[in-house]
Amino acid sequence: MSTKNPTDWTIAEARKSLEAGETSALDLARAFLDRAASVEPAVHALLERTTDRALSDARAADARRAKGERGPLLGIPVVLKDIFATRGIPTTCGSRILEGFVPPYDADAVERLSRAGAVLVGKSNLDEFAMGSSTENSAFGPTANPWDTGRVAGGSSGGSAAAVAAGECLASLGTDTGGSIRLPASYCGVCGMKPTYGRVSRYGVIAYASSLDQVGPFARTVADLADVLGVIAGHDPRDSTSVPAPVPDYAAALDGRVAGLRIGVPREYFVPGMAPEVEAAVREAIERLRSLGATIVEVGLPHTKYAVATYYLVAPAEASSNLARYDGVRFGLRKAAADANLLDMYRETRDAGFGAEVKRRILLGTYALSAGYYDAFYLKAQKARTLIRDDFAKAFAECDVLATPVAPTVAFGLGEKTEDPLAMYLSDVLTISVNLAGLPALALPCGFDGAGLPIGLQLIAPAFREEAALRVGDAFQRATDWHERRPPAPGAAKGGAR
């Protein structure tokens, strides 16, 4: 049996202990619930600790195992971003406007995890309606980075990444609209995967930007990501954007070899202003892949410079439409004076229920779609999006996988960018293009800066070739130990590892 604390295990280590009878799902659930109680005051990764559900799930998993059942996630503690509908459990999307909302059904990804025997230990914090890069836009307060609680965890899925890094679960789910899985994975020193658009059902996921949103997992290793993705991926007829494509055996694709693969390095992704330690760590990681037998080629993605502007027209436009349903009539918050008319009720509810960033994006999107501006802004952005997608198609004619940084810097300080929305938006400059093109991308740790803060490597693959990125990432982790490092006890130290 491993001498490590169970909250420091990987999924693979926990599964081995469960299958050997050295621990039980109930023991694991209690260990992770205790860990959450210990670290939450400093980290605030969770909006809801689902204690009763966790213990019930764990007992059910133990009963299934006693009958001889096996599975990659049977008895494994998980956390869900609080953007997934969970039957009987409050779902807030980090917003006051969903006050009191308890869904009557589960999202498809939640159903799949449940069938696999995963144990739900909590719902995680996020930027309100997934709009943000730091989880500081949550109506319920920010999530801190477990490596340094004075810094952000990234966003919008910061709670999901921080929960894995802080040992509150072994895996979590997030959503990625412009980098919302990969950025927090990089900042928190864990692994995160944005699958191809359409690979994982969005049924039961509260929408931000419907042509960009995608569900994906967080875990400590690439091999663990492959296990989770294998459970949640697949066609769902309830989601019209879900693609009826076969799901590969992701775990079987991890053969540890990259010899013969061509790895492209886009020259446009090493941007002016990038922290020198970030560039050095990513280039060293690329050289490590070369030493493992991969061929490194330089490629061009010339329309990358238009990605941020394109994204911040397309995403807010879709958000302005999606968020029109929150009007105080059917569910959630309702604010109005006794003598208010319907228009006043709408106005007061939305003013009180939405935070500043959500209001900003609704206004941006409504303006871009308004008469006289649609062609000048939204339509032109869609044309630019096509050019960005074409760039990737040309690059993948020359290589199998692209390797880039995830972000230009390590995690920045809490409050550092909240008064400068443009600076915050630029945090996603290296991740947004992937969403515009609908491609899969993986983030994994590849080093630390001098202050002991994690640095992330991004691996981008062609559409529906998640296994290509996973294979390269797994081979890198077999040859390095960055993913084995754990943050200090949250709140006890600034930076450093154990």
**Domain CATH code at residue 186:** 3.90.1300.10
What integer pLDDT is reported at residue 338 of this predicted model? 67
The residue range of the domain holding 214 is 6-304+386-484
Each residue of 110-139: pLDDT tens digit? 999 999 999 999 999 999 999 999 999 999
Ranges of residues in the chain whose predicted pLDDT is under 50: 1, 492-496
Nearest to 162 by CA among 78, 46, 47, 28: 46
| Residue 354 domain flag | no
pTM of the prediction?
0.96
What integer pLDDT is reported at residue 273 of this predicted model? 87
What integer pLDDT is reported at residue 493 of this predicted model? 39
Residues identified as active-site? 81, 156, 180
436: amino acid identity, one letter: L
| Residue 492 domain flag | no
What integer pLDDT is reported at residue 492 of this predicted model? 46
| Residue 331 domain flag | no
| Residue 104 domain flag | yes
Nearest to 187 by CA among 405, 37, 9: 405
Task: Please tell me whether residue 266 adopts helix, strand or coil conformation.
Answer: strand
| Residue 151 domain flag | yes
| Residue 374 domain flag | no
**CA 105 to CA 84: how far, in whole Å?**
10
Q: Encoding tokens for residue 452?
A: 């002991």
| Residue 48 domain flag | yes
| Residue 42 domain flag | yes
Q: List CB contacts of 168: < 8 A, sequence separation 6 or more.
A: 7, 32, 35, 36, 39, 40, 43, 45, 46, 79, 121, 122
Domains in the chain, number: 1
Nearest to 438 by CA among 389, 372, 369: 389
What DSSP character marks residue 413? Answer: B
Buried residues in 49-87 as b, exposed as e (16+ CB within 10 A): bbeebbbebbebbbebbeeeeebbbbbbbbbbbbbbbbe
